[in-house]
Structure 1
Amino acid sequence: MHISRLDLNLFVVLNAIYTEGNITRAARSLNLTQPALSHALGRLRAMLDDPLFVRQGSLMAPTPLTRALIGPVRQSLNTLAASVQQGHRFDPATTRRSFAIGLRDVLESKLLPPLIGRLKRDAPLIELSSVRADRRELESDLAAGALDMAVDVLLNLSSAVRRTALLQDTLVVVARDGHPVLADGLDLDGYLRHSHVLVSSRRKGGGIEDLELARLGRHRHVALRCQQYHAACRVVADSDLLLTMPEQYAQAANPALPNRVLPLPFATPTLDVYLYWHEAVEQDPANRWLRATLLELFGG
C-alpha cells in the first residue's frame, strides 16, 4: 500500500490504544468519543488487513503486526512532533537555516557587507544566498518558497505578498576627474551637453532621469547602454561620458576609480526600495527574525 493512501492520524489512534490498553481510556486521552475511536480503529484494520488488537476481558491485546509497528510508529510520531515544535522556535545563535533573498546587484554592495557581519556575530549557522529574481516571477517564487524574501523597487504584486519600506536613495551623476563639466559646476545645460551611459536590463526605454527630462521638455544623448553599473563606472573613468546612478551604490562603486560623484542638476523622485515576503511566512520565526534584522540595519 502506498503511503499516500494512509491517514496518518490513524497511527495516533494505534499508539493511544497500545499505550492505554483500553478503548475507553484511549478515547479519553485523545479527547474523542468511544464510537469515533472505534470507527478510526476499524478504518486502520481495513487498511492494514489485520485486527491489530484482540479483546481480552477489558484489555485490548496487540497482535504481532501491532507489536512490530508500534516502535517505528512511536518514533515517527515523536520525530514529527519535534519537527513541528522546532518549526515554531528559532534561536539565531544555534539554528542552522538557509535563506534565499532576491536581490539585484545594485543593492548587493549596500546590503550584504553589514548583513553578513551581523549574521557572523549573531547567527553563525545561517547560510545566505543572494540571487537575481525575475520581477515577473517574483510573486510565484515567494509563494513557492524558492525565495524567502526579496528587496526591490515598488512592484505591482497581489496582497498575498507583504512589503515594507527598507531604503530610500537619490540619483547622482558620476564623472571622471578632470571632466570638462567640472570646471564650471554641473548644471542642467552642462549635463545635456555631454553624452551619457545608461544602465538598464531592458533593451529599450530610458531611466527615471529620462522621464523627468521629458517633463522638462529636454532630452539627453545616450551613447552607451549597458547592463552593469560596475562596467559603466569603468567606462566613465576612461571617457567623457556621464553616468546617472543611485547615490549609495555610486559611493560604494567609485572610491577605487578616478571618478567624482556629483548632485544631479534637476529633481527626480526618490528611489524607494522595499522588502517583500509572502503571507505564508508572515509568522515564521526565522523569516521574521531576518526581516527584523534587515529593518534594523537599513530601515532607520
Structure 2
Amino acid sequence: MPMLSPDLNQLALLHELMLERRVSRVADKLGLTQPAVSNALARLRRRFGDELFVPTPAGMVPTPLAERLAGPVGAGLALIRGALAPAPAFDPATAQRAFTVGMTDIGEIVFLPRLVQRLAEVAPGVSLSTVRNTAVDLADELAQGRVDLAIGLLPQLQAGFHQRRLFRQRYVLLCRRGHALDVARPALAAYRAAEHLVVVSPGTGHGQVDTLLQRAGIHRRVRLTVPHFVSVGHLLARSELVATVPERLAAELAAPFGLVARPLPVKLPEVEINAFWHARVHRADDNRWLRETVFGLFGPRPPGR
C-alpha cells in the first residue's frame, strides 16, 4: 500500500527546517516540542526515503532532495497562505471597483442621480452600471454574482434573498400644472372621467395599480398605455392626460416637467421599496459598503433628521 502524501503541517515543518536549520528553533517557531518536530521529521524521512536533513555541529544540513523540494514547497505554502489571508478592508476613497445594480426604470429616475453624486464625493474610483429588471433574470444574476444589489418593488426577489426596506410610499395622481384635477382634493367622478396614461410595468409590483382600482370599483378611461415610466413626464406635460404613479417618482418629475402631484380620491395600499442581495456577498466588505451607502441615502431617517 503506497504511503500517503505529507500533509500541509509536515510541509510547513520542512520549509521551516530549510530556513532555521535547527530543530529547537523550528519547535519554538511552530509552538511545538522538540520531540514532536523530531517525530514529524522522521515521518517525512520515511515518506521520501531520504534523510532530508543531516545533523552537523553547524546545524541541520539539507540533502539534495530537500534542496530540490524547498522552492516548490515554499512557493506552494506562500500561495495557500495568501489565499487564506483576510482580504484587505474595502476603502471607498481608494478602491477601484465596478458595481452593477439591478433596478426598475423608476429606480433609475429616483435613485441614480443621488447615488452617482454620493459616489463622486466619497468613492471617485468606484463606477456603477445598472441593468433593468425586465432585461435579465435578477434572481439568477444576483446568485451568479453578476449583479451586486437590486433595488425596487421586485416581488420576484421576495424569497431566497437578504432584503431590507428602504421606505414605504403611496400612489398619487400626477398631472400638468393647471389641469382640471390640479386641486387640493380631486373628486372621484373627475378622476374617473379624466383621460389616463397607464404604465404596464412588467417585473415589478407597480402593475398592480389597475387591479387595485378595479377591486375598488373604479374603471379609468385609458387613453394611452406605455411599457415604462421614462416618458411619463414628457407625456403629461404636453397633454390632458393624468397618471397614477408612486409618490417618489412624482416628486422627481414635478419640477422638471411642470407637473403637480395630488392625492388619489381612493385609498390604495402603500408599497414597500426594498434593497435585495444574495447570501454569497452578505459579509463582503465592498457589498456591505454599497448597501450601507444606499441605506444612508434612501432608508429611514433617524429621529431629528
Q: Which TM-score band applies after superposition, normalised by the shorter structure?
A: 0.7 to 0.9
Alignment partners' CA distance in 2, 1:254 and 1:185: 17
Aligned to 2:92: 92
- Per mean C-alpha deviation after superposition, the further-off stretch among 12-21 and 230-239 is 12-21
Give the aligned residue type for 1:95. Answer: A
Aligned to 1:153: 153
Aligned to 2:269: 269
Among 72, 76, 96, the alignment partner of 2:79 is 76
Q: 1:125 to 1:10 in 2, by over 3 A?
A: farther
Q: 1:104 to 1:10 in 2, by over 3 A?
A: farther
SS at match of 1:269: coil
Give the aligned residue type for 1:55. Answer: F
Using the TM superposition, give the Cα deviation of residue 276 of structure 1 relative to its aligned residue in structure 2, in angstroms. Answer: 1.0
Aligned to 2:112: 112
Q: 1:246 to 1:52 in 2, by over 3 A?
A: farther
Pairing of 1:234-249 with structure 2 (within 5 A): 234-249=234-249
CA contact (8 A) 1:141 1:147 kept: yes
Where in structure 2 are there 5+ consecutive unaligned residues?
1-6
Alignment partners' CA distance in 2, 1:174 and 1:102: 26
**What is the TM-score of this pair, normalised by structure 1?**
0.76
SS at match of 1:85: coil
Using the TM superposition, give the Cα deviation of residue 162 of structure 1 relative to its aligned residue in structure 2, in angstroms. Answer: 0.8
Pairing of 1:55-204 with structure 2 (within 5 A): 55-57=53-55, 59=60, 61=62, 63=65, 64-69=67-72, 72-73=75-76, 76-77=79-80, 79-80=82-83, 84-87=85-88, 89-134=89-134, 137-153=137-153, 155=155, 157=157, 160-182=160-182, 186-202=186-202
Pairing of 1:215-234 with structure 2 (within 5 A): 215-234=215-234
Aligned to 1:279: 279
CA contact (8 A) 1:233 1:253 kept: yes
Matched pairs, number: 285
Q: CA-atom RMSD, angstroms?
A: 3.7
Residues 32-72 of structure 1 deviation map (CA, whole Å, 9 limit, x = unaligned):
866778778988x6xxxxx7972323736163533543664
Alignment partners' CA distance in 1, 2:141 and 2:27: 43
- Per mean C-alpha deviation after superposition, the further-off stretch among 155-164 and 65-74 is 65-74
Q: 1:183 to 1:271 in 2, by over 3 A?
A: closer
- Per mean C-alpha deviation after superposition, the further-off stretch among 33-42 and 140-149 is 33-42
CA contact (8 A) 2:182 2:260 kept: no
Identity %: 30
Aligned to 2:3: none
Give the aligned residue type for 1:61. Answer: P
Alignment partners' CA distance in 2, 1:174 and 1:103: 22
Q: 1:154 to 1:129 in 2, by over 3 A?
A: closer
- Per mean C-alpha deviation after superposition, the further-off stretch among 276-285 and 63-72 is 63-72
- Per mean C-alpha deviation after superposition, the further-off stretch among 136-145 and 261-270 is 136-145
Using the TM superposition, give the Cα deviation of residue 267 of structure 1 relative to its aligned residue in structure 2, in angstroms. Answer: 0.8
Aligned to 1:4: none
Alignment partners' CA distance in 2, 1:41 and 1:219: 88
SS at match of 2:231: helix
Corresponding position: 1:18 with 2:18: yes
CA contact (8 A) 2:104 2:132 kept: yes
